[in-house]
Amino acid sequence: MSTTNNTLKKALLWFRNDLRLHDNESLIKTLRLANSSNNNTSKVGVLPLYCFDPRHFGFSRIGKFRKANANRTRFLTESVDNLRKNLMNEWGLKLMIQIGHPEEIIPHLCSQYEIEQVFADKEVTSEETSIEQVLEKQINVNYSYGFSMVHVEDLPFKIENLPHVFTDFRRKVENPKLIVRPLLQLSPNEKKLISSRVVNLIQDENALGKTPDLKVLGYTDEEISEMMENLKDPRSVLHFKGGEDEALARLNDYLWTQDRLKTYKETRNGLVGEAYSSKLSPWLSLGCISPRKIYHEVKRYEKERVENDSTYWLIFELLWRDYFRFFAEKFGNHIFMLKGVTRASSKRKGLIGDSSSNKVESKYDETRWKQDLKLFKLWADGKTGLPFVDANMRELKISGWMSNRGRQNVASFLSKDLNLDWRLGAEYFESLLLDHSVTSNWGNWLYAAGVGDVDPRGEARYFNVVKQGFDYDFNGEFVKLWIPELDQVPQRCIHAPYLMSESEQTNAKCTIGVDYPKSLVNVKAHHHLNENGVKANYKHKTGKANERERKIR
C-alpha cells in the first residue's frame, strides 16, 4: 500500500550502473529533498527502483551471443541484492525491483503514485540514451554524471573537443593539475535530519518485487548448470561476488591488508593469482564502487604508505576508463562501426543518425574483415593452436576474467592474424567479461584492431603472441594452468608447441593435431617470424642473447 498524504514530496530514484550508496550523486540529490523544507514535520516519500531490462539478456547483433551470459547476470543480481540490503540498513528504504522496459515502467509508476521528481545517472551510448529520450518525452528526469573519476564538467575542454589520442587527453586533464572532486557525503547533522524525514513511498512488500532468478530472465538449465560448474573451478583468479560490500572489501584488502599497490606497475601484467592487479573492474562496471573512492583511497595510501610510479599507475588506468567514456560520448554509434571512428565522425557535429554518417572517409579496407563463425569459435574456445591465445580464452570462458595483457593479445590475434571482424570479439567479450562496460570494451577493441585512428600506430599495433607468451609467461605457468595437455611440453616450445620434434611430442604426450590443435595461422610464415622470437627470448632470459637478437624482440 502506498502513502496517501497528498502533501508528501515524492521522488523516484532509478538505479542503473550506480549500484552503491557511497559517492552517489543521484541518491544524495534524492535524499536532500528532505532538507528543502523548513517544516519539521514534512516528509519525503522515496521509491528506489531497479529494472531488469530483458533487452540486456537477449542476443548480440552480429554474433548472436548472449549480451550477458549467466555468470555476468549472476554478478548483477548479487549486486542488486546487496544494494537492496544496504538501502534498508542505511536509510530504511525498500528497493523496488521490476522486470521490463524502464521507459514504460517509470512513467507508469510516476502516474500511479503521483511522483513529481525522478533522479538517475546519465548514460552515453545509444541503447541507453534511446531509453532516456523516450522517457524524457513523458516525464522530467534529473540526471547526474557519476561514472567517471574526472567529472565531465571539470574537463578543460568541451566533449566535442576531446583529443583524439589518449596521451593528449591525459596531458590536458593533468595540466596543471588533475581535478577529482571530493566524495559526495552527508554531514552527520544532515543525515540525522534526513533520516527523520525520508519514508518509503510504497510499503506493500508484494508490490516491491524481488530479484529474479536466472530462469525467469530467460537462461536455460544448460546455461545455469555450466555457470555453476565453472564457479567451482579453483583456477579462477578470484571468486567475484557482486555488490558494494564486496567492492569496498576488495579495495581495502588490495591496498591496505596485502599492501599491493606499491608494486602495482611491476605486477599489473601478471597472469596467475589474485594479487597481480587490483581486479576492481567488475565492481566498477556496475558502479558498486566509485572511481573517485578509489582515487581518494590511493591518495590516502600515498600519504600514509608510499607514493611512487605504481600508485600513480592505478590512477592512470582510471584515466583510460574516463577517456573511453568521453570518447564514446563524442563519437556515438561510430564506435560500433566496422571502420571505427575518424576525426570527422563526432556525433556533436550532427553525423549520428544522419545519412552522411555512412560516408565518412576511411583509409581501412573493410573487405579484409571476415565473419567466419567456425574460425571464430576456435578462437573463442581456445583451440587456435597458439597457447598464449588459447589459455587466455579458456580462462575467460570459465571465469569471466582475463588479464589486460591477455586481452590485448587475443584481440590482436583475432583482428590481425585471423582477419576476423573485430566486432565479433567485442560482442563476445561483452557476453562473458564480468567487468564489461560498453565504453571501455568497445573503445579497447577499436584500439586493438587499429581502426579509425584511435591509436596513432593504427594497424602497425601488432602483438606477436608467441613472443608475448615468452615475455610474460616464460616458464609457461599460466599456459599449463589452463591447458593441461601442454603440461609436459619443454619450456623452449611452451608457446610454440608446433616447433616440437616428433620425439619431443612423444615425450610430452602431446601430439600436435591430436592432443593439441595445429596452429590456425599459416604455420610456415608464422614459424619463421615466431621461431626467431622464441630463440631471441629464450636466449635473453638465459642471458645469452646478443644485441642484434635483442632487437628482434
Q: What is the pTM of this model?
A: 0.91
Mean per-residue pLDDT over the chain, rounded: 90
Per-residue pLDDT band for 346 (boundaries 50, 70, 90) equals low
Q: Where are the beta strands (DSSP E) in 101-252?
A: 117-121, 141-144, 198-200
On whether residue 340 sits in a domain, the answer given is no
In angstroms, how far is the first alpha carbon of the chain from the final one? Answer: 69
On whether residue 266 sits in a domain, the answer given is no
Q: What Å distances lie between residue 355 and 249, 344, 360, 364, 392, CA to CA?
A: 49, 14, 10, 20, 40
CA atoms of 491 and 506, how far apart (whole Å): 15
Give the pLDDT confidence score for residue 368 in this predicted structure.
Answer: 76
pLDDT reading at 552 higher than 50: no
Give the pLDDT confidence score for residue 452 in this predicted structure.
Answer: 65
Report pLDDT digits (tens) over 79-100. Answer: 999 999 999 999 999 999 999 9
Give the pLDDT confidence score for residue 37 in this predicted structure.
Answer: 64
Residue 401, C-beta contacts closer than 8 angstroms, at least 6 positions apart: 236, 237, 238, 240, 279, 282, 395, 433, 434, 435
On whether residue 98 sits in a domain, the answer given is yes
Quick one: average pLDDT of 200-214? 96
Structural domain count, the chain: 2
Structural domain of 202: 9-147+179-208
Q: Which of 167, 191, 208 is the last residue of a domain?
A: 208
Give the pLDDT confidence score for residue 341 in this predicted structure.
Answer: 84
The DSSP annotation for 474-538 comes to TT-HHHHHH-GGGTTS-GGGTT-GGG--HHHHHHHT--BTTTBPPPSS-HHHHHHHHHHHHHHHH
CATH number of the CATH domain containing 186: 3.40.50.620
pLDDT reading at 549 higher than 60: no
On whether residue 327 sits in a domain, the answer given is no
Residue keyed to cell 626467431: 532
- Residues of the binding site for FAD: 264, 277-281, 317-324
Which residues share a beta bridge with 2?
202
Residue keyed to cell 560498453: 438
CATH number of the CATH domain containing 469: 1.10.579.10
- With pLDDT > 70 as the criterion, what percentage of the chain qualifies? 86
Cis check for the bond before 176: say yes or no (omega within 30 of 0): yes
Higher pLDDT, 539 or 407: 407
- Residues of the binding site: 264, 277-281, 317-324
Looking at 139-148, 338-347, 530-539, which range is the least confident one? Answer: 530-539
Report pLDDT digits (tens) over 180-194. Answer: 999 999 999 999 999
On whether residue 23 sits in a domain, the answer given is yes
Looking at 27-36, 43-52, 458-467, which range is the least confident one? Answer: 458-467
Per-residue pLDDT band for 360 (boundaries 50, 70, 90) equals very low
On whether residue 509 sits in a domain, the answer given is yes
On whether residue 283 sits in a domain, the answer given is no
Residue 519, C-beta contacts closer than 8 angstroms, at least 6 positions apart: 384, 385, 386, 498, 526
On whether residue 395 sits in a domain, the answer given is yes
pLDDT reading at 29 higher than 90: yes
Instruction: Identify the burial level of 84 via C-beta atoms within 10 angstroms of its C-beta, where 0-12 means exposed, 13-18 middle and 19 or more buried.
Output: buried
pLDDT reading at 132 higher than 50: yes
Q: What Å distances lie between residue 223 and 57, 70, 344, 471, 485, CA to CA?
A: 13, 6, 43, 36, 26
